[in-house]
Amino acid sequence: MYQQSKHNIFSKIKDSNEYYLVNILSGNADILEPDEALKFKENRIDNPDIYIEKGYLVNPDDEERIFREKYLNFIDERDSDEIQLFFTPWYTCNFNCSYCFQDEYTNPEQTVTDEVIDAFFQYIDNQFAGRKKYITIFGGEPFLNTPKHKQTITKVIEGANIRKLDIAVVTNGYHITDYISILQQASVREIQVTLDGTQTVHDSRRILKGGQGSFQKISDGINALLKNNIPVNLRMVVDKDNIHDLPNLAKYAINQGWTKNTLFKTALGRNYELHHCQTNNKRLFSRIGLYQEVYNLVKKHPEILEFHKPAFSIAKFIFENGELPNPLFDSCSGTKTEWAFDYAGKIYSCTATVGNTGDELGTFYPQTKLNSKLIEEWEERDVLAIKKCRNCSVQLACGGGCAAIAKARTGNIHSEDCRPVKELLELGIGLYK
Ligand code: SF4
Ligand code: SF4
C-alpha cells in the first residue's frame, strides 16, 4: 500500500559517508547514516511510520491529490506575483565581449523614439493594470555616454516615476559614474554589473570596441553606486578561462568593502551557448562541471563564500531557511512574470529572446498585436506540459529549466532543459552541512 514517493531525491553526500533524502512535495529533508540509507534504498525500513509521516513513503493516490492541490496553489500565487518588464531602448553596445549572445543579432543600430517609449508605458498601463511590476532597462548597453542616450534613459525613468514603479538596469558598468545623477532621480531596485575577474582576467574578456580594458572604470562605478546607496548585483560570467580567478575577485570585493555592504549582492552566470555556437566553445562548462569546480574552489578558498554563496539547486535555501522551498512546477518566468519590449515596438518573452528574429510574440507599436497561439504555448509550459518532466523525480526542484535554451536545442518550447539537481545537492549539502 505504501511505496516510495516518486518525489524522493536520494543520494550520497559529496566527501561524506552520509546520504541525503529530500522530498519537496512533502517539504522534508533528512541526512541518513549509511546503514539507514542502505535499508531505505532496499526497502527494509525499520520504522516506516516516520517515513510515512514525512512523505517519503506514500499512498500514490494521496500523493497525487497533494500534488494537484499544490500545483493549483502555485498557479494561483503566480498570478499575483510581481512582473518584471524588460525595456531595450537600443541594441547598440560599446563593448565587444568575447562571448556576447547578441553579437549575431541583425537589429539596426537605432535608438528608441519618444513615441515608442510612450506606447510602451501605455501598453503596460493597459495590459498589466493592477499588477505589481517593475521595469528593468536592458540592451545592448543602456548606459551609453551621449546626451541623446541620457535623455532617453531619463524619459524612461520619468515614466516609471509617474507610475511609482521601481527600475533596475543591466549594464556593462563602463559609464555608471556618468549616470549617477540620473539614477538619483529614480527608485532603483538594483544595478546589475558584470565583472569577470580581477583586472587582467576581466580585461581579456570584456573590452571596449576599441580594444581597451574596462575593469577600473567598472570598479569605480560600483563604488559610486554604493556610496549613493544604490543596490548593486555583481555578476561574474564564468567558463574554464576565468573560473580560476574567482578567489581573487572575492578577495578584491572583500578588500573594497563591498561584501560588508547590505546593498551588495552577487551572482555567478555560466557562459553558455544560446542562439548560436561560440567560436571557442571548449571553454564552456556543463552545469554540473561548473559547480564541481566551484565546490573545489570553495573548499580551498572558503573566503569565496563571503563574496558569493552558490545555490547548488535548493541546498543553500535549505541551510539558510531551515526549511524547503515551495515546489517549483515551472522555473521559467517568460510570459508569466516576465516580458521584454524593444525600441522597434516588438514584444518578447524575456531577456534570452528579446531581439532574436523569430522569437517575437507581438508588437506594442505602431499598434498592439499579439500572437496568442505562441503566447499560450509559452504560458502553458511547466513540468506537466513537458512530456519528459512529468515523471521526473527532481521536477519540483528543477521546474523544467529554461524555455529559450530548450527551444534553441530542440525547436520546441515544450521540451526539457534538465538541471542536474541530484548531483548539485550532493555537492551543496556536502558544502553547507
Ligand atoms: S526562457 Fe529562460 S531566460 Fe527566458 S524567462 Fe524562461 S528561464 Fe528565463
Ligand atoms: S527538465 Fe529534465 S531534470 Fe528538469 S524536470 Fe524536466 S526532465 Fe526533470
How high is the pLDDT of residue 101? 65
To test the pocket of ligand 2, the residue of 393, 395, 410 to mutate (highest count of ligand atoms within 8 Å of its CB) is 395
Residue identifier of the C-alpha nearest atom 2 of ligand 1: 402
Mutate to test the pocket of ligand 1, among 336, 349, 353, 417 (most ligand atoms within 8 A of CB): 349
Q: What are the residues whose beta carbons fall under 8 Å from the beta carbon of 4, sequence distance 6 or more? A: 43, 56, 57, 58
pLDDT at 129 over 70: yes
Could you give the C-alpha distances from 171 to 218, 222, 257, 431, in angstroms and in order?
10, 11, 21, 32
Q: Which ligand is closest in space to the CA of residue 378?
A: 1
d(CA 395, CA 414): 14
CB 335 within 8 A of CB 375: yes
Domain boundaries for CATH 3.20.20.70 within the chain: 82-321
**pLDDT value of residue 279:** 62
Q: What is the pLDDT of residue 275?
A: 67
pLDDT at residue number 282: 84
First to last CA, the chain: 34
Residue 406 Cα: closest atom of ligand 2: 1
- Cβ–ligand 1 distance for 403 under 6 Å, the answer yes
What's the gap in Å between 421 CA and the centre of ligand 2? Answer: 9
Q: Hey, which of 25, 383, 396 would you mutate to test ligand 2's pocket, going by the most ligand atoms within 8 Å of its Cβ?
A: 383
Instruction: Give the C-alpha separation, 128 to 421, whole Å.
Output: 34
Amino acid at 276: H
Q: Are strands 83-88 and 133-137 parallel, antiparallel or unpaired?
A: parallel
Residue-level pLDDT at 96: 81
- Tens of pLDDT, residue by residue over 343-364, are 999 999 999 999 999 999 999 9
Angstrom distance (rounded) from CA 135 to CA 158: 12
The 10s digit of each residue's pLDDT in 177-204 is 999 999 999 999 999 999 999 999 999 9
Given a cut of 80, whether residue 274 has pLDDT beyond it is no
**For cell 518532466, what's the residue?**
389
- 63-90: average pLDDT: 97
Q: Residue 213: pLDDT band by 50, 70, 90 thresholds?
A: confident
Dmax of the chain from CA atoms?
Answer: 74
CATH superfamily membership of 82-321:
Aldolase class I (3.20.20.70)
Ligand 1 centroid to Cα of residue 311, in Å, is 18
- The sign one gets for the Cα dihedral 222, 226, 229, 231 is positive
As separate numbers, helices (DSSP H) first and strands (DSSP E) second, the chain gives 16, 15
**Contacts made by residues 355-361, CB under 8 angstroms, sequence distance 24+:** 355/88, 355/91, 355/102, 355/105, 355/107, 356/105, 356/275, 357/105, 357/106, 359/404, 361/335
CA of 413 to the centre of ligand 2 (A): 13
Cβ 361 under 6 angstroms from ligand 1: no
pLDDT tens readout for residues 95-120: 887 777 666 666 666 889 999 999 99
Ligand 2 centroid from CA 391, angstroms:
9
Residues 6+ apart with CB under 8 A from 222: 173, 176, 193, 195, 232, 234, 256, 258
417: Cβ–Cβ under 8 A, 6 or more apart, which residues? 400, 401, 402, 403, 405, 406, 409
Residue 277 has pLDDT above 80, yes or no: no
SS3 call for 21 = strand
Q: What pLDDT does 106 receive?
A: 62
Atom of ligand 2 nearest to the CA of 420: 3
Cα–Cα separations (whole angstroms), residue 376 to 15, 74, 123, 335, 387: 45, 18, 19, 9, 17
Q: What is the Å distance from ligand 2's center to 398 Cα?
A: 6
CA of 98 from ligand 2 middle (Å) equals 30
388 Cα nearest atom in ligand 2: 7
Residue with cell string 535623455 = 151
Residue pair 76/30 in contact (Cβ under 8 Å)? The answer is no
CA distances from 332 to 87, 329, 408 (A): 19, 9, 15
pLDDT band at 250 (very low <50, low <70, confident <90, very high): very high
Compute the distance from residue 390 Cα to the ligand 2 centre, in Å: 8
Residue 334 is classified by DSSP as B
Mean pLDDT over residues 240-265, rounded?
Answer: 98
Q: Is the CB of 112 under 6 A from ligand 1?
A: no
| pLDDT for position 102 | 65
Q: What is the DSSP letter of 80?
A: T
Q: What is the pLDDT of residue 345?
A: 97
- 3-state SS class at 103: coil
Cα 129 from chain centroid (whole Å): 25
Beta bridge partners of 83: 133
Q: Per residue in 363-419, pLDDT tens? A: 999 999 999 999 999 999 999 999 999 999 999 999 999 999 999 999 999 999 999
Strand, helix or coil for residue 319: helix
Cell of 61: 493516490
Type of residue at 175: H
Q: Determine whether the shortest distance from the Cβ of 154 to ligand 1 is under 6 A.
A: no
Find the 250 Cα to ligand 1 centroid distance in Å: 28
Section 206-231 average pLDDT:
94
Q: Pocket of ligand 2, candidates 398, 402, 413, 421: which has the most ligand atoms within 8 Å of its Cβ, to mutate?
A: 398
Percentage above 70 pLDDT, the chain: 96
The pick from 6, 25, 330, 419 for probing ligand 2's pocket by mutation, whose C-beta has the most ligand atoms within 8 angstroms, reads 419
Residue nearest to atom 3 of ligand 1 (CA): 352
Q: Is the CB of 338 under 6 A from ligand 1?
A: yes
Does the reported pTM lie above 0.95?
no
Rounded CA-CA distance 260/367 in Å is: 48
